[in-house]
Structure 1
């Protein structure tokens, strides 16, 4: 919201008179904005803001104007019809079997800590959850009968994530 407020201020306009066209002009201005502009430690780079960053800023602005309408500060959300910038879908590169084997070989399975690390890496690779979700897993979150983890995700949303036989075998051995 800060960038948008600065943008409106530079246009000598306040938030109460904002229109969808103002958001469109802001999007165009962001597309020319250098990455890390006004950052206290990072020098400005030649690269421009990514479309993902611009879309994130716009989502925040749209949420703010939705809040203003819901709370009765405005009669209608004048920005809700503005189309969000397109964000290219990025395919995340996965590890090869050889890379996974190398990673797992780095653990010393002969020690408690090494075997624990092996289990962590194996679980992380097998089920593909967020690091914070993995860190929050506890023994009672594991259902060995159905091979499911109970995972508390973003927004405190609980979900069940399946895991493979190899993970089950390693975790059972670790818990003994």
Structure 2
């Protein structure tokens, strides 16, 4: 093996270790980044270009090669994102002084705007729930926590009692890649949870399930499918014609904050997005300039006159 090949092998090994240990990415995510890097390294080897001597022009030719191979725009964008990640690491770790990908453009992707619900539609969704049923207060709490905290469905199904700090007004969320974040929870959501806890205390909970917040009638924690079915049924009961899912409520959370004036980077943190670009899709929702402040703009946290009368 040549010195050049040894250098590339070492760079790759250190980069993948960085993704795993410092960025906390899952094995599947690390493997995906490795696959992206293999595209680049294979091309550079064929062209006789040292990865540490790459210029913007080389990367633009690489992007053109991906297109010539018939790779979809979405896959091209993903591969180039992985390439940017690699060169950001090289700058961060001192291998390079300048990031050659800084001006590298991704292919234009058609923007699929997420469906979302207005506050009034969320209220209609909650009001359609039969609170006399065994799952009534639970389902209402689920919808309110989705809308007030912007959780992914997997984050909600895995939410534990030990993750709740309701006195302080926060919950701890275990997100993608094992990353944790603290998310404020509104008084409305806390109220709905307390009503559910009154019912929950009457249940026969299965061993090992005691710490899960949301349970089915048999005392097991809920699955993604159970929540999906519940949300769709309630949308139908509320007369909502939009095609919605639990993720729609996450979009609704982000949209409500943005419309209220919250900073995009704060929304990024609350949603647990690793990349601000993922959050930017919400900027189409409102033409007003983003203002400062955050959680007090969310409709569940705004206090109106007469609330304390």
Structure 2 length as normaliser, TM-score? 0.40
Correspondence for 1:27:
63
CA contact 1:24–1:82 (8 Å) conserved in 2? no
The aligned residue for residue 49 of structure 1 is 73
2:147 equivalent to 1:129: no
Q: Distance in 2 between matches of 1:29 and 1:78?
A: 26
SS in 2 for 1:112: coil
1:59 to 81, 93, 96: 81
Distance, in Å, in 2 between the alignment partners of 1:56 and 1:78 is 24
CA distance in 1: counterparts of 2:38 and 2:97, whole angstroms: 16
What is the root-mean-square deviation of aligned Cα atoms in Å? 3.9
Alpha-carbon shift at residue 64 of structure 1 (Å): 4.2
Asked if structure 1 preserves the Cα contact closer than 8 Å seen for 2:164 and 2:172, the reply is yes
Tell me what 2:100 maps to.
Answer: 81
Of 46, 62, 70, 1:13 maps to: 46
1:100 corresponding residue in structure 2: 122
Alpha-carbon distance, 1:91 to partner: 7.5
The residue number in structure 2 matching 1:109 is 131
Cα displacement (A) at 1:49: 1.5
- How far apart, in 1, do the equivalents of 2:80 and 2:89 lie? 14
Give yes or no for contact 1:32–1:49 (8 Å, CA) kept in 2: no
1:132 CA drift (Å): 2.3
Distance 1:3 1:104, change over 3 A: same
Contact (CA 8 Å) 2:87, 2:100: kept in 1 or not? no
Gap runs ≥5 in structure 2: 1-33, 199-309
5+ long unaligned stretches in structure 1: 38-47
Structure (1 or 2) with the greater helix fraction: 2
Does the 8 Å CA contact 2:43/2:62 hold for their aligned counterparts? no
Deviations 1:24-49 (A, max 9, x none): 21224456776xx5xxxxxxxxxx62
Give the TM-score normalised by the residue count of structure 1: 0.64
Count matched residues.
Answer: 159
Separation in 1, partners of 2:58, 2:134: 59
Q: 1:85 to 1:171 in 2, by over 3 A?
A: same
